[in-house]
Amino acid sequence: MRAVRVLSAALMTLGLAAVPAAADSSPSPGESEDGGAPTRAGTSFRTATEVEQGQTATARASTGDYLYWSFPADAGQRPTVRATVRLPERHAAETWQIDVYDGLRRRQACQYGAQTRTAGTDAASVELECVLRTVRAWSEPWANDPLPGTYYVRLTALRLSTADLGQAVDAELRVESKDMGGAVAVDGALSEPLVPGVATRAGSDEGNDDPAVLAGLEPEDGWTSGRWSDRWIWTAAGGALAALAGVAGYRLTRGSGRPPGVPPNA
Q: How confident is the model at residue 40 (pLDDT cuts 50, 70, 90)?
A: very high
Backbone angles phi, psi at 103, to 5 degrees: -65, -20
Q: How many whole angstroms separate alpha carbon 185 and alpha carbon 229?
A: 7
Q: Is 204 exposed, middle or buried, given 0-12, 13-18 or 19+ CB atoms closer than 10 A?
A: exposed
Q: Identify any residues that bridge with 79 across adjacent strands, giving them in sequence order.
A: 177
Q: How confident is the model at residue 228 (pLDDT cuts 50, 70, 90)?
A: low
Whether pTM > 0.75 for this model: the answer is: no
pLDDT value, residue 198: 42
DSSP letter for 68, please: E
Residues 6+ apart with CB under 8 A from 85: 96, 119, 125, 126, 128, 155, 169, 170, 171, 172
Query: How does the average pLDDT of the chain come out, rounded?
Result: 77
Q: In sequence order, which ranges of the chain are alpha helices (DSSP H)?
A: 2-25, 231-253
Q: Is 220 exposed, middle or buried, given 0-12, 13-18 or 19+ CB atoms closer than 10 A?
A: exposed
Q: How confident is the model at residue 19 (pLDDT cuts 50, 70, 90)?
A: very low
Segment 49-59, tens digit of pLDDT: 999 999 999 99
Q: How confident is the model at residue 2 (pLDDT cuts 50, 70, 90)?
A: very low
Residues 6+ apart with CB under 8 A from 198: 46, 212, 213, 214
Q: How confident is the model at residue 28 (pLDDT cuts 50, 70, 90)?
A: very low
Q: How many whole angstroms separate alpha carbon 140 and alpha carbon 255?
A: 53
Q: How many whole angstroms separate alpha carbon 76 and alpha carbon 155?
A: 25
pLDDT value, residue 174: 97
User: Which is higher by pLDDT, 6 or 140?
Assistant: 140
8 A C-beta contact, residue 91 and residue 195: no
User: Which is higher by pLDDT, 235 or 143?
Assistant: 143
Residue extents of the structural domains in the chain: 32-201+209-232
Q: Taking residues 232-247, what's their average pLDDT?
A: 79
Identify the CATH number of the domain defined by range 32-201+209-232.
2.60.120.380
pLDDT value, residue 240: 84
8 A C-beta contact, residue 158 and residue 203: no
Q: How many whole angstroms separate alpha carbon 255 and alpha carbon 245?
A: 17
